[in-house]
Amino acid sequence: MRWYLAKLVYQVVSGNGNHAPQFDEQLRLIKADEFEWACEKASILGRLYECDFTNKRDESVKWKFVSVVDVLPMGSLQDGEEIYSTIEEPNDVTDYLNRIKSKSSMLAINK
């Protein structure tokens, strides 16, 4: 058995759908004998975690599984080892950097 890192995407629709489009991208650890089974297992997990519920504003919320978009075999799990990387090509660099700084400031580790 070996570990894989799977990226799953859900579409979040709430209320009457009159809101900014929302997608939740999740990274999940999958343990499987082979790559094909890791892909299948990730897809099964994605469907299992679809849900409908009512939020605090009494609006219907639906998490719809879209797809598994990536499955990567994990190397040895060592302190500081890179487990995932993606390249962003934003249209607005200033906006992108401001969003990164805003998220980072919430962690209070980069001050």
Listed residue (1, 2, 5) closest to 81, CA to CA: 5
For residue 64, is it within any domain? yes
For residue 91, is it within any domain? no
d(CA 59, CA 78): 43
Residue 12 structural domain = 2-74
For residue 101, is it within any domain? no
Average pLDDT over the chain reads 88
Give me the half-sphere count of Cα atoms (radius 13 Å) on the Cβ side of residue 93: 0
pTM attached to this predicted model: 0.74
d(CA 10, CA 23): 5
pLDDT of 109 above 60 = no
pLDDT tens digit sequence for 72-108? 998 877 888 887 777 788 899 999 899 888 888 877 6
For residue 33, is it within any domain? yes
For residue 60, is it within any domain? yes
For residue 30, is it within any domain? yes
* Total domain count, the chain: 1
For residue 109, is it within any domain? no
For residue 86, is it within any domain? no
